[in-house]
Homo-oligomer: A and B are copies of this chain.
């Protein structure tokens, strides 16, 4: 085979891999209001910056006829890219391939980008959309989860880890997001729980909807599991980009400053009007925060959860700062066990 034949073959494989589970499943994904792994990545990273790894990897399972069902790249798209010009590593589970189920090869691809993120000191972003462990691969799938969890704990405190839930995330799959620093969810299309409504009904007789049990709203307001939620996938991915702008690449670097035009020593008028001299009167501390920070830009974390405390990110003199404020408007700003979690 000459060079041209080789390049032709490679090109064909690339085209096939880019199809994931094939047109029918992509259509089904779109019908659910969801995007494919590659469409999501394209919206997350700066245009043209995505570098894919292991695009042609396939699973090795021979049980249950699985050898008949092999897809180039298997159920995850993994690699690196830029967000606002800063490098990240990422992986996006591909629901069109065997329901995004996690097997040996999928785990190996994920572990490789986690290792690279840690070695290069970049944030790691996981776009989760998976039916859980690929049971045909048995203990190898479970061992794959273990490899991921181990890397989550090793990376904890070293690089920022963000989990974006964009579909089902159940059973063993929830532990990895639980070990990461931030969880973002898309309203309406994402769910997250260990045990689903059916099992709960069987065991306790209680009927609960998917949305009530593990939807974005439930996790944003009741459990506090979701730090940020977007109205849809696009907004959620945009939130990832916003959040990354406040985070350092790793624990040896500072987060990037960004000139905002607001003078650091500008005089703030009107605060006495905003904050009542009578300490018994409440007010919305978020208004105070917005006036103090650069350009009034404040990315609130856990906006719906533990509303008696307000936390989030903003900038001062262009430098990212964390904000923690009592919220007099809720429970008079008194702390409870939710606020201090």
Binding site for B on A (CB under 8 A): 1-4, 6, 60, 62, 67, 272, 275, 277-278
Contact = CB atoms under 8 A, between A and B. Distances in A.
A179 to B, nearest CB: 13
A1 B277 CA distance: 7
Nearest to A7: B272
A6 B272 CA distance: 11
A3 B272 contact: yes
Contacts of A60: 60
A3 B67 contact: no
A277 B2 contact: yes
A62 B3 CA distance: 31
Contacts of A277: 1-3, 6
Nearest to A271: B3
A272 B272 CA distance: 70
Nearest to A335: B194
A18 B67 CA distance: 32
11 contacts: A1-B277, A2-B277, A2-B278, A3-B272, A3-B275, A3-B277, A4-B272, A6-B277, A60-B60, A62-B62, A62-B67
Contacts of A67: 62
Contacts of A62: 62, 67
Contacts of A2: 277-278
A2 B275 CA distance: 11
